[in-house]
Amino acid sequence: MDRIRLVGGNELNGEIHISGAKNAALPLMIASLLTDEPLVLLNVPRLADVKQLERILENHGVDIAVHGRRRGDAEMGGQRITFTAGDIVDTTAPYELVSKMRASFWVIGPLLAREGTARVSLPGGCAIGTRPVDFYLDGLRALGAEIDIDGGYVVARALGGRLKGATVTFPKVSVGATHVVMMAATLADGVTTIENAAREPEVSNLAECLNAMGAKISGIGTDRLVIEGAEKLGGATHEVLPDRIETGTYAMAAAMTGGNVFLRGARPELLQSALSALGEAGVNVSQEDGGVRIIRNGNGLLPVDVETDPFPGFPTDLQAQFMALMTRSAGVSKIRETIFENRFMHVAELARFGANIHVDGQTATVTGVPELKGAQVMATDLRASVSLVIAGLAAQGETVVNRIYHLDRGFERLEEKLSRCGADIERITG
C-alpha cells in the first residue's frame, strides 16, 4: 500500500495549478445520463473517484472517451472527456459499485427522470458520519416517485412513467439532495421549486451545465431554485470549475510553511470565508490576474476561531486543514464543526505530531505549540489525510502518512505540486 514520506522545514515558493473540482465533476458526469447526446466536460481532474464513477456510468451504458491534450493546453490542466448515454442499458446501480463512493447514489435522479425507474443500492454510512439519504428520497417522492426499500436497494418508479413538477422544501441544506432533485426535475412535467437549496458553487456549476443542455433553471446561486421541466435535454460542452477545497488546502500549506505561492486558476469568490480566516491569522492573501497569491514571510500565525457552515460559510472540507494550521498559532483557537457529527478523527493523528487539541462535542480547542515533530500517522478520510501532510510540512524531521488512497480520491498529483514548490515529499509504493 502506498505511503507518503516527507521531511518538514522547507518553505513553499512557486506556483501551483489548481485542478478541476472533484465535487463539481462528479455530478456533472452523472448529468450525462439525462441525455442521449454527447456531454463534453473540460478540466476534469485525474482522481480515483472520477475513475470509479466512470466505471459506474459504463455499467449503465455510457460511452466514455478521454481525449488527449491539445496544443496550448496547460501542462497541469485537466482532462477533456466526452460522455454519451445513447441508450441506458441498465437502471440498476449495484452495491459493489455504489458502496465504494457515496456520490454514485446520485444516479437515481437522472435514471428515474429519463427511464421512469431506478434501482440503486443504499450507500450506507462513511467515516465522517451517517449522512442519510432521506432528503433525496422525500424530494423524489414529492415529484411523484413511488419508492420502496428492498434488500438494501432503493427501488424507485415514476408513476405514469414520468415525474411531475412540485415544490420541494429541504428541512436542512443538503448538497447531494439538491443535485439529485434538480437533475430529476429537469425532465419532469411542469415546474419544480426547490426551497432551502444548497448554494455551493458546485451546485451552481451543475445548474449552468444543465441549462446549457436545454434545461430551464432560475435562481442559480440562491437558496430557491425554479426548474421548468423539459421534454428532453441535449448535449453540451461545459467546464468544471476550479477546486475551492484544493485552493484552500494549498493556501493553508503555504501559510503553514511560510513562503510565497501563487495558486493559478484559483477563484477567491468560491472560498472567501476561508481566505478571510487566513487573513485574520496573519497571512497575506491577494488576488492577482489568473489566481491568488499566498505569502507568509517570517511573521507568526495568529489564532482564529472558525465554525463550519454551508456556503458561503467556512467549508467543512477545509476544517481539518485549518486545524493543522492552528496547531502552530500563537494562542488558542476554537473550531466548531456543524455539518458532520464525526469529523474530528484527525485529532488523534495530529496529536502524534505533538499538537495540543482538546475536543468537547462538536468543538475542538487548539492551543498552538512552538514546534511539531515528524511522526508515523494514518489517514482516516479524504480531507483528514491532507491535514496530516500540512502538519508534516512544518514538522521537524520525517513524517510518513499511511493509507493515502484517501488522498488519491480527491487530490491530483499532490506530491508533485508540493515538490515543485520546494517541499521534501515523495510517494513510497508497495
Positions at the binding site for UDP-N-acetyl-alpha-D-glucosamine: 102, 172-175, 317, 339
Q: What is the 3-state secondary structure (H, E, C) of 199-211?
A: CCHHHHHHHHHHH
Whole-Å CA distances, 166 to 59, 135, 378: 31, 15, 46
Nearest of 326, 316, 423 to residue 372 by alpha carbon: 326
- CA dist., res. 267 & res. 210, Å (int): 22
- Whether the Cβ atoms of residue 336 and residue 362 lie closer than 8 Å to each other: yes
Q: Which residues are annotated as a binding site?
A: 22-23, 102, 172-175, 317, 339
Nearest of 12, 77, 43 to residue 262 by alpha carbon: 12
The amino acid at residue 347 is V
* 3-class SS of residue 72: coil
Work out whether strand 216-218 and strand 224-228 pair parallel, antiparallel, or are unpaired. Answer: antiparallel
Cis upstream peptide for 310 (omega within 30°): no
Grid cell of 80 as nine digits: 477533456
Grid cell of 395 as nine digits: 514538522
The total number of residues written for the chain in this structure:
430
- CA dist., res. 258 & res. 254, Å (int): 6
Q: Please tell me which residue in 42, 88, 126, 147 is annotated as part of the active site.
A: 126
Q: Which residues are annotated as a binding site for phosphoenolpyruvate?
A: 22-23
Q: What is the dihedral of CA 209, 215, 220, 222, to 10 degrees?
A: -130
> Of all helices (H) and strands (E), which one includes residue 248?
helix 244-257
- CA dist., res. 301 & res. 279, Å (int): 10
- Residue indicated by cell numbers 483557537: 333
Which strands form 153-158's sheet, in the order they lie side by side?
92-93, 117-121, 153-158, 145-150
Q: Give first-to-last CA distance, the chain, whole Å.
A: 5
Residue 209 annotated to the active site: no
- CA dist., res. 94 & res. 408, Å (int): 23
Q: Which residues form the catalytic set? A: 126
